[in-house]
Structure formats: C-alpha cells, structure tokens
Amino acid sequence: MKPLPLRPSTNYLLDCLPCQDRASFLTHCEAVNLVFGEVISEPDGQIQHVYFPLNSFVSLIAQLSGRERLEVTMVGSEGMLGMPLILGLDESPLRALVQGAGPALRMPAADFGQHLAQSPALQALLKRYLYVLMHQLSQVAACTHFHHVEARLARWLLMTQDRAHSDHLHLTHAFLATMLGVRRAGITLAAMALQARGLIRYHRGDITVLDRTRLIEAACGCYAADCRLYRRVITEGGAV
Amino acid sequence: MKPLPLRPSTNYLLDCLPCQDRASFLTHCEAVNLVFGEVISEPDGQIQHVYFPLNSFVSLIAQLSGRERLEVTMVGSEGMLGMPLILGLDESPLRALVQGAGPALRMPAADFGQHLAQSPALQALLKRYLYVLMHQLSQVAACTHFHHVEARLARWLLMTQDRAHSDHLHLTHAFLATMLGVRRAGITLAAMALQARGLIRYHRGDITVLDRTRLIEAACGCYAADCRLYRRVITEGGAV
DNA sequence: CTGCGTGTGTTTCCTGGCGCACCGACGGTA
DNA sequence: TACCGTCGGTGCGCCAGGAAACACACGCAG
C-alpha cells in the first residue's frame, strides 16, 4: 500500500467533475496500490475509505446466508467504491475483492462526506452513478437467471477488458467459475467454445481477447445494454 | 382512479417521518386506487408521480433485451415507488406492475422534488430505503441463481403476504411462473409440495397461508435476511 | 533431471428445470 | 342443463449444468 507518485487522475467519474471541485477533491486523495486478492470491504464491515480505481478494478460480490457467492458488478476507472456513503450509511452489503491490481485514489469516509456536502456537482454525478449501479444490479439478476454460461462468460471478459484497459487478462478457470457462480468444468467448456471460434486465446491463466467485435456478439445483450446505459446517464447526461 | 376519502396514512415510510414533515407531505398527496394489472411505470418511461402504497402492492420487474422478464423486488406499504427521483433522474429501469389492488397515496414528481429539498428527514429516510433496495437487488441476483423453485416460491408468498396484510392471496400458477421466471408446471410442482406439507392451501387461484412459521423455514434464508435488513436500517436505524 | 503444484481437459452419472402438449376439473353464464 | 373459459395436474423428451473424479501438461525449484 505504498504511496505512488501523484499523477493525473484517470478515473472517469473524477474527470467528469468541474475543474474547481476536481482539484479540491484530488488534493485530499491519497494514491494507493490495490493488490490482487485484497478484500476492501466485507459485508457488514464499516467503510473506511472511498476508492476511485485508476487502472485497477474490483469485483463486488453478494454473499447469501448459505455461503453461496456471486459477483454482481465490477468497479474500475469508470466508477467508485463505497457508494453507501452517498446514502448516509457507512456499511456495505457486498464484498469488494480486488481483481485487477493497480493504482487507485482513495479518501477517508469522513473527508468524503465533507466534499460531498460542499460540491453539488459531485453529489449529482455520484447519484447518477448510483442509478447506473441499481440498473445493473437488477439486470444482473435477470441475466444470471436466463443466460447461459458461454454468453455470460463473454460478457464478463468484455467487462474485465474494459476495466483492465488491456487485451491481456490473467484469470484462471477456477476464478471465473466462482465469479459466475458455476463449476470450473463449465467454464472450461465455455472457454473452449469461445477459443474454437477464434474470439479468445488462453493458456494457463493468461487470456487474450482476439476479436472483440465478435466477442460482443457472443455475449448476451446485457453487455451492450450496460455500455449504453453508462454512456447515456454518465457520459452524456452527466453535464454537472 | 377515483379519489378516495382521505384517511390516515398507513404507509410505513411516511409513518417514520417527524409529524411536521409528515403532515405537510400528506396534504400534497392524492389518494388513488391502484387496480390489479395496471402498469405504473415502463422501462425508459418518465416518472410522473411517486406512490406510497397503503394496502396495495406493486412488483418491480426487470426486462432484458431478449424480452425475458423477472420480478426483482416488490413494493408495498413498507416502501415507495419512484426511487430514481431521489437520484435526480425521472426515468425508471423497471416495469412497475400492480399486483395487489388497493389504495395508495401519490404525489406529482415535481412536488416531490420540492418536499425532498425542504425536508432533510425525508431525504435521510428515503436514502436508507434506497440502500435497502440496493441490498435486496444484489441479494435477489444470487438467490434467483442458487435457490430452487420451491424455496423461492415460499419466499415470494411470504413477501406477498406481508404486503397484502392478509393470509389470503389471489394468484394463479401462471402468474407466479412469470414472476419467478420459471415454467407454470414448475410452480405446480412446488406449490403441491408446499401444500402436501400443510404450509399452504390453494384452489383455482386462491392461496391461503396456513402455517407461516414453517413456510419461513421452507423459504430460503433470503426472506429472513430481507426482514432483518429492513428492520435494522429503517425501523431501528431510521431515527430521523 | 526430478518432483510437485497449479491449471486445464475430460468422463460418468445425476438432477432440476424447460418446452410442449394434453386432459380433467371447476365455476360462471346462457 | 349444457357450454366454455380458466386453472391446475401430468407425461414426455431434452438439455444445461451440478458433483466428483481422474489424467495430463506445463513450469518452476531443488
């Protein structure tokens, strides 16, 4: 968790802020390095910081009483971690697991509350982001129920690729299986099918996206819907 | 949609408000009667009013690009319809379908915005409710994926019973099937199992809950988790 | 070179739920 | 009373995915 040299923010949400608010916000941020496998928040744990991933990304995982786990969304440089603070609560229902190591900006929860109170632009922006999250959550419920492993895997790879800003991912079948809530063997089959169609290549945990366009076709419509929603609500609607 | 005689609010959220705020809020509400099957909001439609169900209740349904549909949550006298307004957006990603006919209070979106701006208590309360919703959405995603029809049906009946304030529900198997995103025959089997265990009785669309305690045991833990969450965040944490 | 850990391919058997279709039973209406 | 629409029970073939193994293959460390 060593501090990194401060560098221009490449978090998309922060980039959307007016210069004033953004500058003031950034001076109170600390640059940290998220390491793979780190758990940033536990269900019912207290939120200590908000995080704005830069090149890193984090899975948000729902956990049922029976210990079943399912990834419900992903946060990278397009988002923020610690949304319940917007709602005035300092607990998170979801486990946040660092899935792509890399730099992030973070701010203590208390400071964040102050900035939020002082910057209407920040408030408006993060409310919009919260709307996107809610939309995604309800969509994920239906997607997970109706769509098959292969399409869901394709979608998941695309989302990961977007957040990793790279064609090259490091993910074992076993890890993918727990994220999608299916068996490892199920991932093997789906991954082989995608590889046979020339959409991806993988070897001992190294996955390369070969043909992004056709991978989008192989994924369920939920990926495209997600992208459209974000663009409409944040990128275009986010005139703050 | 004829106006009803104004009567004391029995919406739990409104009951949580301080007397002042509540009185002022109620004077701007209109009493309406929700009729079974009415669609209050469509995905991408504009939110015209917020609704506070009294004895009525409404299903919120996610719809994917492929037309697959799944109920993701339910709003009765414990909640409110039109939450995106809290986030500054006047669109809803979900279809709202009246499932239990009955009275509700409603307020035009614009008026609601004003009340919201003037009442910090209202804001705080509804933010908490929004947190509960988000938690539920992520839980539903996992529940729908991992739990079997019988447990999900039991859960669903319990949730409906709570919101209908009655042991007696009118629901055909076909309707339940679309809500849970399964076949009608699947509901028949699950319902027969619950009936054989003496938990419910049904006959041509009339369902009676006979043994609520054991029905809770038959349901997945998600029902109890939902109740606990609401109690903790709204009933107890909601000192506004 | 050997050995072990990790990651992946593959097999067998099993089950929950799907799609589809048919039929019987009930209850309101003519 | 006869009819018909709605509701629910059932049967059939089918398939995706679950559970649990086993086998292989690569790559690093000793």
Nearest to A141 among B62, B222, B225 (CB): B62
Task: Report DSSP state, residue B108.
Answer: E
User: E-strand spans in chain B?
Assistant: 30-34, 39-41, 49-53, 57-63, 69-75, 95-100, 102-108, 168-170, 200-203, 206-209
Domains and CATH numbers, chain A: 12-123 (2.60.120.10), 148-219 (1.10.10.10)
**Virtual torsion, Cα A107, A113, A114, A120, nearest 10 deg:** 110
Nearest to A94 by CA among B131, B192, B55: B131
**Virtual torsion, Cα B122, B123, B127, B128, nearest 10 deg:** -40
Largest Cα–Cα separation, chain B: 54
Q: Which two tokens stand for residue A130?
A: 């919260």
In the prediction, which pLDDT does B238 show?
55
Q: In the structure, what pLDDT confidence band is assigned to residue B9 with cuts at 50, 70 and 90?
A: low
Is strand C less than 7 A from the beta carbon of B203? yes
In the prediction, which pLDDT does B54 show?
94
- How many other β-carbons are positioned within 10 Å of the β-carbon of residue A199? 22
Integer Cα distance of B37 and B154 in angstroms = 22
For A228 and C18, how far is CA from C1' in angstroms? 31
Instruction: Give the residue nearest to nucleotide C6 (CA to C1').
Output: A204
Residue A55, helix vs strand vs coil? coil
Q: Could you read off the pLDDT of A127-165 as tens digits, one per residue?
A: 999 999 999 999 999 999 999 999 999 999 999 999 999
Q: Could you read off the pLDDT of B127-177 as tens digits, one per residue?
A: 999 999 999 999 999 999 999 999 999 999 999 999 999 999 999 999 999
Is strand C less than 7 A from the beta carbon of A10? no
What's the rounded mean pLDDT across residues A86-111? 95
Burial A130-157 (b: 16+ CB within 10 A, else e): bbbbbbbbbbbbbbbbbbebbbbbbbbb
Q: Please tell me if residue A189 touches chain B, with a CB cutoff of 8 Å.
A: no
Q: How far is CA A93 from CA A59, A178, B135, B195, B226, in A?
A: 13, 18, 6, 34, 12
The answer to whether A72 contacts B142, with C-beta atoms less than 8 Å apart, is yes
Distance to chain B for A116, nearest Cα, Å: 14
For B226 and D9, how far is CA from C1' in angstroms? 33
Q: Which two tokens stand for residue A238?
A: 């986010």
Nearest to A87 among B68, B131, B140 (CB): B131
Integer Cα distance of B161 and B150 in angstroms = 16
Q: In the structure, what pLDDT confidence band is assigned to residue A94 with cuts at 50, 70 and 90?
A: very high
Q: Which two tokens stand for residue B211?
A: 């043994």
Q: Please tell me if residue A67 touches chain B, with a CB cutoff of 8 Å.
A: no
Is strand D less than 7 A from the beta carbon of A201? no
Integer Cα distance of B128 and B132 in angstroms = 6
- DSSP 3-state percent helix, strand, coil across chain A (nearest 5): 50, 20, 30
Distance to chain B for A4, nearest Cα, Å: 33
Nearest to A64 among B64, B146, B233 (CB): B146
In the prediction, which pLDDT does B2 show?
41
Q: Could you read off the pLDDT of B35-63 as tens digits, one per residue?
A: 999 999 999 899 999 999 999 999 999 99
The answer to whether B233 contacts A144, with C-beta atoms less than 8 Å apart, is no
Q: Please tell me if residue A144 touches chain B, with a CB cutoff of 8 Å.
A: yes
Q: In the structure, what pLDDT confidence band is assigned to residue B25 with cuts at 50, 70 and 90?
A: very high
Q: In the structure, what pLDDT confidence band is assigned to residue B66 with cuts at 50, 70 and 90?
A: confident
Nearest to B64 among A127, A142, A233 (CB): A142
Res. A223: pLDDT tops 90:
yes
In the prediction, which pLDDT does B4 show?
41
Integer Cα distance of B136 and A108 in angstroms = 27
Is strand D less than 7 A from the beta carbon of B189? yes
